[in-house]
Amino acid sequence: DQQVKQNSPSLSVQEGRISILNCDYTNSMFDYFLWYKKYPAEGPTFLISISSIKDKNEDGRFTVFLNKSAKHLSLHIVPSQPGDSAVYFCAARRSNTGKLIFGQGTTLQVKP
């Protein structure tokens, strides 16, 4: 039972353009949604989060949008840079627990 899904295994964009990574979830009880970034041979690194009571959260070049009615969230990276090339994981959790449920990941390649 995959509660968090990332249906695009990979995405390739040109440097300077926008990258949009998508994530769908099935459990309406999730209270927080997160994005983590992972480089090869390293552990995932926290990027940005959003509470279920909000529909947008912005941090520099990164913005996460949440559409609760569609059970969908997306991460926008503007402008994309070659250093953003990594695997991006969407994750979700309920309030009062540290248990994260991760999606399968999307590999982003930003071409110079």
Partner 1 sequence: GAGVSQTPSNKVTEKGKYVELRCDPISGHTALYWYRQSLGQGPEFLIYFQGTGAADDSGLPNDRFFAVRPEGSVSTLKIQRTERGDSAVYLCASSLGRGANYNEQFFGPGTRLTVL
Site for partner 1, rule CB under 8 A:
4, 6, 32, 34, 41-46, 49, 89, 91, 93, 96-105
CB of 66 to partner 1, least distance (A): 14
In the bound state with partner 1, the residue whose beta carbon lies nearer, of 16 and 59, is 59
CB of 42 to partner 1, least distance (A): 6
CB of 63 to partner 1, least distance (A): 16
Q: 72 near 22, Cβ under 8 Å?
A: yes
**From edge to edge, which strands make up the β-sheet containing 62-67?**
4-5, 19-25, 72-77, 62-67, 56-59
In the bound state with partner 1, the residue whose beta carbon lies nearer, of 13 and 91, is 91
Q: 60 near 48, Cβ under 8 Å?
A: no
In the bound state with partner 1, the residue whose beta carbon lies nearer, of 29 and 42, is 42
Question: Among candidates 8, 40, 16, which has minimal Cα distance to 112?
Answer: 16
